[in-house]
A and B are shown apart, each in its own frame.
Chain A
Amino acid sequence: MAYIKLVESSLKTIKDICASFGYRKGDLINVLHKVQGALGYLSAETQEAVAKELGISAATVYGVVSFYSFFTMKPKGNHPISICMGTACYVRGAEKVVNEFKKQLGVEIGETTEDGVFSLTCLRCVGACGLAPVVTVGEKVYGHVVPDGVEGILNEYK
């Protein structure tokens, strides 16, 4: 037998969420959304547990998780940084901002710094186009961000 270990409370969360959807295989995406919301990210172990509860293969679950960019398999940092890559932000230089964050943190999009403090993701339009380019750190929104301002933002959390 192969054992997959998960913290009891996480396992219970997963089981409850699957039950709340009546174990419907068709609700896989919704289940994963809820589970990610509750646990922060979808580890391989978490995906195995979802697969088992819904009676589908782990490969199928991973297929869905790897397809959609809003699912993440890595734990978020204490301060998750999201950069809007909607059209407005993009044309106003969001990409340069992204590159500056990558440089300063030494991580790629979708990754978390080794100390677990920051994680970096990109978002589709967040609907604050007047403030483009927009960056959020946790709940806090920063507007009109330029590459030179990145260091200042990071320092607020160090």
Chain B
Amino acid sequence: MGKIKVTIDYKPLEIEEGTTVLHAARQAGIGIPTLCYFQLHDMGIENNPGGCRICVVEIEGRRNLAPACVTVCTDGMVIKTNTIRVLNSRRTVLELILSNHPADCLICAKSGNCELQTLAHRLGVRQIAYQGEQSHFREDRSPSIIRDIDKCIMCRRCEMMCNEVQTVGALSAINRGFDSVVAPAFEQDLIKSPCTYCGQCVAVCPTGALTEIDHTPEILRALADPTKTVVVQTAPAVRVALGEEFGMPVGTIVTGKMAASLRRLGFDYVFDTDFAADLTIMEEGTELLGRISAFLAGDKDVKLPILTSCCPGWVNFLEYNFPNMKDVPSTAKSPQQMFGAIAKTYFADKINVKREDLIVVSVMPCLAKKYECQRDEFKVDNDPDVNYSISTRELAALIKQANISFHELPDEDFDNPLGESSGAAPIFGVTGGVIEAAMRTAYELFTGQKLEKVDFIELRGLEGVRKATIKMGDQDIHIGIANGLGNARKLLEMVNKGEADFHAIEIMACPAGCIGGGGQPLHHGDSSIIKKRAAAIYEEDRNKPIRKSHENSYIIKLYEEFLGKPCNEKAHHLLHTHYFDKSTVIEGTVDVENN
């Protein structure tokens, strides 16, 4: 593509043909404000309805102001982004939005992190000139997400995420004019929709219209209860993002400070989901090898490709959309649930605490985990294996409430026996990591030889769909990887049509995997944040003395003392699950009239 010349705010600029005014301005260091526009650069995610008109600019020779996000530059264009006319128009647009917006900032869950609030501050709005009627929708509380759509500004980012990126289709713009908001079909609650609770709508909502269910009050209560022993587990992706909430540089690894802060909060045992990730590899890897070996031995009934099952958002998606494949994924539970099952049996016995007096809390980058830990199959006599799951954001809120100066904390270690992990565990937090971790172990078990090069670079990257072939001895293993549910759909449709010959497929519901999860600090559309978190995850892996799950000494001990062998009956009972058909069937009933 050719180059063209434009002038923005008196600054001459050479840009690629086809660049929008918004991006041209960014190249010149001029940040035009946006609301509906949203992009995750390099990740194929863009919301571009040109609807809010907060981004208007003046273009010489044009009578009307033009929205920068959808206006493509032409050669010689002279653009002004800060004339009086532009500033007034921008403020008017914002005041109109604010006139139908509850001014709840003091008590809003998004306060301090809300793009609408930031914009009102930036544009210096000191009064709302228009007194509008306010809409009143009912609040919808699902197991993971709160929808408070009186705060919806109709940017439609969530709709784009849910429908185009995730292809779930739980949300749509409804009604018209004043009453228009984004909602599930028939304005029903999210729980009645095919929502997977991936939380990607929450991750992109600029306002407090979509937030997570807050479990911090329950946790504070449990911590204050002297009859309860409270243990906590932290997912891999949390440690590379939590620091952002305290203003630390993006990509800072805060594993040690996080463990210290949890101890200061009063948790009795500070454990690590990474331990359970190693355990997952033992179970899932064994299952994978079992299926591949059976397949190679000519067993026609064996179900291949094996699909990973550690992402509950993806499991929900499968149950709604691909019920015919519900016997295909690995039956291994997610690391969160494996941890819960082991904590409430093996560990509870060890410390001599009754199951009902042990509270298991998980800190997750994920909102689907809130739903997952409430599933009936993960309860024993109505007592959940994991009592509460909070997001990275909620943990940050807890730390702030408890007067802990995060920066000044020393680096501390996790407790044992459920705190030790290999380098194969942290990489669960990034797309491709689960299957890489599985290959490290499967390779050695399959070939009986030591794996010299533990880094499977060919499995890494952030592209939505990836394919790779790994050699295990003489055997080629074909691997598919998808992140984002729309990409998962593409891969599964290939498999359903018999167009692919994968042995194993890894699927993560969130773009880039859990590092981009719905419970993470908000990235506000800056994809460099996600890339830095990914780099930090691999650094965490490299820093570990042990890089393979089956070499984790506490895992070895767990099997020796308690479980026996991977995938045996006891392991199946505690660490494996099954999936349900949640699709909708439309059924014709007998005509009343014809009877």
Contacts and interface: CB of A to CB of B under 8 A. Distances in A.
A2 B585 contact: yes
B176 interface: yes
Contact of B587 (A3, A44, A58, A63): A3
Interface string A10-25: 0110000000000000
Nearest to A63: B172
B316 to A, nearest CB: 14
B169 A63 contact: no
Contact of B594 (A2, A9, A48, A63): A9
A4 B585 contact: yes
Given A56-B169, A63-B173, A2 B591 contact: no
Contact of A11 (B169, B588, B592, B594): B588
Contacts, number: 93
A49 B586 contact: yes
Contact of B185 (A6, A9, A59, A67): A59
A57 B194 CA distance: 9
A111 B193 CA distance: 26
Interface in A61-99: 61-63, 66-67, 73
Q: How large is the interface on B (under 10, 10 to 19, 20 to 34, 35 or more residues)?
A: 20 to 34
Interface string B157-190: 0000001000011111111100000011111000
Contacts of A58: 169, 185-186, 193
Contacts of B173: 63, 67
Most chain B C-beta atoms within 10 Å of own C-beta, residue among A12, A44, A60, A61: A60
Nearest to A56: B169
B180 to A, nearest CB: 8
Interface in B330-385: none
A102 interface: no
B175 A6 contact: no
Q: Secondary structure at chain A's binding surface: helix, strand, loop or mixed?
A: helix
Given A4-B584, A48-B584, A57 B163 contact: yes
A6 B587 contact: yes
Contacts of A59: 163, 169-172, 183-185, 193
Contacts of A112: none
Contacts of A61: 185
B186 A62 contact: yes
Contacts of A51: 185
A60 B585 contact: no
Contacts of A9: 591, 593-594
Nearest to B581: A1
A4 B586 contact: yes
Interface in B509-524: none
Contacts of B544: none
A36 to B, nearest CB: 16
A52 B586 contact: yes
Interface string B37-60: 000000000000000000000000
Contacts of B582: 1-2
Interface in B183-205: 183-187, 193-194
Most chain B beta-carbon contacts within 10 A, residue among A1, A45, A51, A57:
A57
A52 B581 CA distance: 16
A62 B184 CA distance: 9
Contacts of B171: 59
B589 interface: yes
A56 B187 CA distance: 17
A141 to B, nearest CB: 28
B118 interface: no
B591 A1 contact: no
B583 interface: yes
A127 B487 CA distance: 51
Given A59-B171, A59-B172, A62-B174, A1 B186 contact: no
Contact of A5 (B185, B581, B587): B587
B210 to A, nearest CB: 15
A6 B184 contact: no
Contacts of A5: 587-589
B387 to A, nearest CB: 28
B563 to A, nearest CB: 34
Of the candidates A11, A57, A59, the one having the most CB atoms from chain B within 10 angstroms of its own CB is A59
A26 to B, nearest CB: 16
B399 to A, nearest CB: 37
B297 interface: no
Contacts of A67: 173-176
A39 B75 CA distance: 55
A6 B592 CA distance: 11
A8 B588 contact: yes
B590 interface: yes
Given A56-B169, A63-B174, A1 B589 contact: no
B448 to A, nearest CB: 45
Contacts of B587: 3-6
Contacts of A62: 172, 174, 185-187
B590 A60 contact: no
A51 to B, nearest CB: 8
A8 B591 contact: yes
B185 A47 contact: yes
A60 B186 contact: no
A65 to B, nearest CB: 9
A58 B183 CA distance: 11
Given A47-B185, A58-B185, A61-B185, A11 B172 contact: no
B48 to A, nearest CB: 18
A34 B591 CA distance: 20
- Max chain B C-beta neighbours (<10 A), residue from A51, A60, A63: A63
B190 to A, nearest CB: 11
A61 B184 CA distance: 11
A35 to B, nearest CB: 14
Interface string B101-112: 000000000000
Given A6-B586, A8-B589, A60 B594 contact: no
A52 B583 CA distance: 11
Nearest to B192: A2
B97 to A, nearest CB: 20
Interface string B296-333: 00000000000000000000000000010000000000
16 contacts: A1-B323, A1-B581, A1-B582, A1-B585, A4-B586, A5-B587, A7-B590, A8-B591, A9-B591, A9-B593, A47-B186, A51-B185, A57-B194, A59-B172, A67-B173, A67-B174
- 3 smallest CB-CB distances across A and B, nearest first, come from A57-B169, A63-B172, A8-B588
Given A7-B590, A8-B590, 5 more contacts: A6-B586, A45-B586, A57-B168, A62-B185, A73-B186
